[in-house]
């Protein structure tokens, strides 16, 4: 990528590393608002530019690391070369010999001959910093080697004369420049570490950062003298201090924060970094959570979606491939009017600025490949490219764009980010598809079940087979007018009972071989002439008859079932094993709306929410097993799936929704189908 440039400058020769101008960079004539939601488990920052969300920062790490305490030595253990110190936390912290700076030693590091008992004494008060958070029964690990991180530099107290440069800065020339600057700047008796962020920064910027750190150090020492051990001296809030340092400047209109503790920290940081900004900080104390009140929650939600709509009606789609992110631009419907080329140009221009915005919001990193809609005119291609580069200017991350749009309309770029992407922070791989983004289709599942049935029927099995699966799968299995179920029945030469269960996962199914006598305890068997309420299975499709079900039993409703009704009262006309036919009843000749009134709402109220879609309130009265009525919906959830095999038949009435809803991760393991085989010998209940 020899003709790539940084920061979106349009100089085709391109300096590989254009200087990063700190806060002066970007379109700073826009108004900026900063909203901070400070919580126990995470802190979130929303940056708004001209009222529009531009950046989201999230911090979820253990926040205790980096905190500085005034501690008291409670125990010295020479055998362990370690001591235990009280820092005010429930567990005493661990301070090892190697983590103690000694004044006599070079660069503050203990000599090999040092003994722990020579360095610390019981009851002594020391300043320590947490280097590892407490874990389980273990207390925190602390060090007396204290460092204060700034934007470009880390001030290492006591590490006199030591200057280090971040390994992530990879050009030797720049490393040497920074090392030299570090050596010039390092205060007497202290060390300096030059951070990755310092790359390309002027001595003026580094000095400003150092001044800030020295002021912070002064305050730390002052506080140490004022308080008694154990006490917290300095709390490290990386995200909040980063925002105050890097984003909150004179251009910012306001900073709103929703916790008092964070508010006070910010005010303290500003007393060092910029007093005049303090009037712009506001503590938010309304009842409605800040991010909800400002519509940020909704925005974050959208940032996890694949598609982003454009005003013109087109959209962009963001896909995460193994080694890169692919962003595809799609047109809306072409409505005529302006020429096609103009419509494409407009969509691409819109997409260009939206992509730049999404890169920042989602914090996408690495290689990014964009696929704009093909443009015939070179002039249009240049226009889109220029618009994209201009939009990239407000991005604080380093970007490098490969200039020319490829013949296929592709634009390649890289974007360097320091943190995890928003998606990486908030999401994990989907347990249903294992991150592949796809699960087996209902047809694939139906075919899988069919093959499994054939195999099991060939092996052994009971008198009848019962299949339970997701309604979308059972609809395929049962087939139009129940024809497919009949075919399978012929093939396995055993009666087959297919029942849908909407609480099951699409890839989950259950095949049970049963003794004939057990069947009625497993499923509700309807009778001819019986009146029941059928509920719509899934969404009715154009060109296909609506499928209804009664307790998972599929029925086809003949005649004209009221359109748009999700349930219909019917009389069973024909009853097969997996499929029955019914006619609507109870309808006034006046028309469909009347039928609705007729539908008995009374029974409905009692229907347990879990089973709702298919629980037939009306049918229930007629349903043979009396035991069912008493089965409390709550009890069903607790029924352990394992126990089902042994459970008395009456308890098994319904597939356990608990397993399906409560532990989704388990479902994957069942992909191959879980079988319950009831031995025919199992005690059939008296009949
Ligand atoms: Zn998935």
Render pLDDT for 55-100 as a digit per residue (tens, 0 to 9).
999 988 667 888 999 999 999 998 888 999 999 988 899 999 888 8
Question: How far, in Å, CA of 635 to CA of 161, rounded?
Answer: 70
Flag whether pLDDT at 572 surpasses 90: yes
CA of 26 to the centre of ligand 1 (A): 38
C-alpha 536 – ligand 1 centre gap (Å): 26
> Is the pLDDT at 195 greater than 50, yes or no?
yes
The CA 317 to ligand 1 mean position distance, Å, reads: 17
What does the pLDDT average to over 459-468?
A: 88
pLDDT at 398: 86
Q: How far is the CA of 434 from the centre of ligand 1 (A)?
A: 6
**What pTM does this model have?**
0.60
pLDDT grade, residue 676 (50/70/90)?
Answer: very low
For residue 639, give the 3-state DSSP assignment. Answer: coil
- CA dist 566 → 405, 482, 553, 561 (Å): 52, 21, 16, 10
Ligand 1 centre to CA of 430 (Å) is: 4
* Residue from 580, 610, 409, 416 nearest 499 by CA: 580
Which one, of 598, 676, 611, lies nearest residue 641 by Cα?
A: 676
| pLDDT for the residue 669 | 31
Q: Separation of 439 CA from ligand 1 center, angstroms? A: 7
Alpha-carbon span 202 to 210, nearest angstrom: 13
Distance 68 CA to ligand 1 centre (A): 43
pLDDT in tens, 521-549: 888 889 999 999 988 887 666 556 667 88
Q: Could you list which residues have their CB under 5 Å from ion ligand 1?
A: 430, 432-433
Q: How far is the CA of 662 from the centre of ligand 1 (A)?
A: 17
pLDDT of the residue at 649? 36
- Separation of 205 CA from ligand 1 center, angstroms? 47
Task: Calculate mean pLDDT across residues 101-111.
Answer: 56
Token code pair at residue 77: 């253990």
More confident residue, 588 or 336: 336
Distance from C-alpha of 672 to C-alpha of 487, rounded to nearest angstrom: 23
Assess contact for 301 and 307: CB atoms under 8 A.
Answer: no
Provide the pairing of β-strand 82-86 with 93-96.
Answer: antiparallel
* Confidence class for position 334, pLDDT limits 50, 70, 90: low
Helix axes 483-492, 471-478, angle to 10 degrees: 80
In the structure, what pLDDT confidence band is assigned to residue 113 with cuts at 50, 70 and 90? low
| Cα–Cα distance measured from residue 673 to residue 452, given in angstroms and rounded to the nearest whole number | 8
CA of residue 297 to ligand 1 center, whole Å: 22
| CA 316 to ligand 1 center in whole angstroms | 20
How far is the centre of ligand 1, averaged over its atoms, from the C-alpha of 419 (Å)?
25
CA dist 209 → 42, 160, 318, 450 (Å): 27, 19, 38, 70
User: Interior CA angle at 74 toward 72 and 77, to 5°?
Assistant: 125
Decide if domain 68-209+221-234 falls under CATH 3.40.50.720: no
- Distance from Cα 470 to the centre of ligand 1, integer Å: 17
For 243-246, the CB contacts below 8 A with 24+ separation are: 243/34, 243/36, 243/45, 243/47, 243/57, 244/269, 244/270, 244/273, 245/150, 245/151, 245/212, 245/269, 245/273, 246/22, 246/23, 246/151, 246/396
Lowest mean pLDDT among 203-207, 211-215, 601-605: 601-605
Number of H helices, E strands in the chain: 21, 31
State the DSSP string of 143-204. ES--EEE-SSEEEEET-TT-EEE-TT---HHHHHHHHHHHHHHPPTTEEEEE-GGGTT--HH
- Centroid of ligand 1 to alpha carbon of 664 (angstroms): 12
**Ligand 1 center to 667 CA (angstroms):** 13
Q: Report the mean per-residue pLDDT for the chain.
A: 78
CA atoms within 13 A on the CB side of 574: 10
pLDDT tens track for 618-641: 333 333 333 333 333 333 333 333
Query: How far, in Å, is the centroid of ligand 1 from the Cα of 328?
Result: 20
Centroid of ligand 1 to alpha carbon of 292 (angstroms)? 27
Q: Please give the distance of CA 620 from its chain centroid, rounded to a whole number.
A: 42
Say how many Å lie between the CA of residue 441 and the centre of ligand 1. 12
CA–centroid distance, 436 to ligand 1, in Å, is 7
Rounded distance from Cα 413 to ligand 1 centre (Å): 28
Find the 308 Cα to ligand 1 centroid distance in Å.
19
Q: What is the mean pLDDT of residues 260-282?
A: 87
pLDDT at 289 over 80: yes
Q: What is the pLDDT of residue 20?
A: 38
- How many CA within 13 A on the CB side of residue 4? 16
Distance between Cα 432 and ligand 1 center (Å)? 5
Whole-number Å distance, alpha carbon 445 to ligand 1 midpoint, is 16
Q: Ligand 1: distance of its center to the CA of 467 in Å?
A: 25
What's the 320 CA to ligand 1 centre distance in angstroms? 13
Superfamily for 32-60+238-285? eRF1 domain 2 (3.30.420.60)
In the chain, pLDDT over 70 holds for what percent of residues? Answer: 76
CA distance linking residue 250 with residue 271, whole number of Å: 15
Cα dihedral 492→498→501→505 (10° resolution):
30
User: Which residue, among 673, 518, 498, 494, has the nearest Cα to 580 in the 3D structure?
Assistant: 498
675 C-beta neighbours (distance < 10 Å), count: 13
- What mean pLDDT is predicted for residues 499-525? 90
Distance 438 CA to ligand 1 centre (A): 6
Distance 429 CA to ligand 1 centre (A): 8
- What is the reported pLDDT for 412? 95
- For the chain, the structural domain boundaries read 5-28+303-426, 32-60+238-285, 68-209+221-234, 442-677
To which residue do tokens 């909040």 refer?
240
Alpha-carbon 479 to chain mean position: 38
Closest C-alpha to 556, from 610, 491, 484 = 484
Q: Ligand 1 centroid to 313 CA: how many Å? A: 27
Distance, in Å, from the CA atom of 89 to the CA atom of 74, rounded to the nearest integer, reads 13
**435 Cα to the center of ligand 1, angstroms:** 6
Q: Give me the residue label for tokens 């249903």.
A: 432
206 Cα to the center of ligand 1, angstroms:
47
Higher-pLDDT residue of 383, 101: 383
| Residue-level pLDDT at 15 | 32
How does residue 687 score in pLDDT terms, banded at 50, 70 and 90? very low
Mean of pLDDT values over 264-283: 87
The CA 40 to ligand 1 mean position distance, Å, reads 30
Omega before 94 within 30 of 0, i.e. cis = no
Give residue-wise pLDDT tens across range 211-259: 989 988 998 889 899 999 899 988 877 788 888 887 888 788 999 999 9
Residue 315 — pLDDT band, cuts 50, 70, 90? very high
**Ligand 1 geometric centre to CA of 507 (Å):** 12
- 153-157: strand order across its sheet: 147-149, 153-157, 190-194, 163-165
């Amino acid at each position: 990528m020899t003709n790539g440039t940084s920061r979106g400058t349009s100089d085709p020769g391109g300096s590989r590393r254009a200087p990063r101008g700190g806060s002066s960079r970007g379109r700073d004539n826009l108004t900026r608002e900063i909203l901070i939601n400070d919580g126990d488990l995470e802190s979130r920052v929303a940056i708004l530019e001209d009222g529009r969300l531009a950046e989201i920062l999230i911090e979820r790490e253990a926040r205790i690391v980096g905190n500085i305490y005034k501690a008291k030595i409670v125990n010295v253990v020479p055998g362990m070369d370690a001591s235990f110190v009280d820092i005010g936390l429930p567990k005493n912290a661990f301070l090892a010999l190697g983590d103690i700076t000694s004044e006599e030693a070079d660069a503050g590091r203990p000599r090999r001959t040092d003994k722990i008992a020579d360095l610390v004494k019981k009851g002594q008060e020391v300043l320590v910093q947490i280097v590892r958070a407490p874990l389980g029964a273990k207390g925190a690990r602390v060090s007396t080697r204290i460092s204060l991180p700034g934007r470009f530099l880390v001030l290492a107290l006591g590490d006199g004369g030591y200057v280090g440069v971040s390994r992530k800065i990879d050009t030797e020339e720049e490393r040497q420049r920074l090392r030299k600057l570090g050596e010039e700047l390092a205060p007497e008796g202290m060390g300096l570490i030059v951070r990755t962020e310092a790359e390309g920064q002027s001595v003026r910027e580094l000095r400003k950062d150092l001044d800030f750190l020295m002021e912070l150090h002064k305050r730390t020492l002052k506080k140490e003298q004022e308080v008694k051990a154990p006490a917290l001296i300095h709390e490290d809030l990386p995200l909040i201090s980063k925002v105050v340092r890097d984003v909150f400047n004179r251009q910012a209109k306001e900073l709103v924060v929703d916790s008092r503790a964070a508010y006070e920290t910010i005010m303290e940081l500003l007393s060092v970094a910029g007093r005049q900004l303090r009037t712009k900080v506001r503590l938010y104390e309304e009842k409605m959570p800040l991010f909800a009140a400002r519509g940020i929650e909704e925005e974050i939600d959208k940032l996890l979606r694949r598609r982003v709509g454009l005003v013109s009606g087109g959209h962009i789609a963001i896909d995460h491939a193994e080694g890169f992110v692919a962003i595809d631009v799609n047109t809306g419907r072409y409505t005529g009017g302006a020429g096609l080329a103009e419509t494409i140009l407009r969509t691409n221009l819109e997409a260009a600025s939206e992509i730049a915005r999404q890169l920042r919001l989602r914090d996408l990193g690495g290689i990014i490949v964009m696929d704009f809609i093909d443009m015939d005119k070179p002039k249009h291609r240049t226009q889109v490219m220029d618009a994209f580069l201009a939009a990239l200017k407000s991005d604080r991350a380093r970007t490098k764009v490969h200039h020319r749009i490829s013949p296929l309309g592709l634009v390649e770029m890289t974007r360097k980010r320091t943190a995890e992407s928003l998606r990486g922070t908030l999401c994990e791989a989907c347990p249903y598809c294992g991150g592949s983004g796809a699960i087996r289709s209902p047809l694939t599942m139906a075919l899988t079940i069919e093959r499994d049935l054939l195999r099991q029927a060939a092996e052994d099995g009971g008198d009848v087979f019962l299949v339970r699966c997701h309604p979308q799968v059972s609809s395929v299995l049962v087939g139009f007018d129940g024809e497919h179920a009949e075919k399978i029945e012929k093939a396995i030469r055993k009666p087959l009972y297919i029942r849908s269960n909407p609480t099951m996962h699409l890839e989950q199914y259950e095949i049970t071989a049963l003794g004939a006598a057990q069947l009625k305890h497993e499923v509700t068997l309807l009778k001819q002439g019986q009146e029941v309420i059928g509920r719509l299975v899934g969404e009715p499709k154009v060109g296909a008859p609506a499928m209804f079900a009664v307790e998972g039993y599929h029925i086809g409703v003949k005649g004209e079932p009221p359109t748009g009704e999700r349930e219909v009262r019917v009389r069973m006309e024909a009853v097969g094993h997996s499929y029955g036919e019914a006619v609507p009843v109870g309808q006034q000749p006046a028309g469909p709306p009347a039928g609705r009134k007729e539908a008995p709402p009374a029974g409905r109220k009692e229907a347990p929410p879990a089973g709702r879609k298919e629980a037939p309130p009306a049918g229930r009265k007629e349903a043979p097993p009396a035991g069912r009525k008493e089965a409390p919906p709550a009890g069903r959830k607790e029924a352990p799936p394992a126990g089902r095999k042994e459970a008395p038949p009456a308890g098994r009435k319904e597939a356990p929704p608990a397993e399906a809803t409560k532990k989704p991760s388990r479902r994957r393991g069942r992909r191959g189908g879980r079988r319950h085989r009831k031995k025919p010998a199992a005690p059939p209940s008296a009949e």
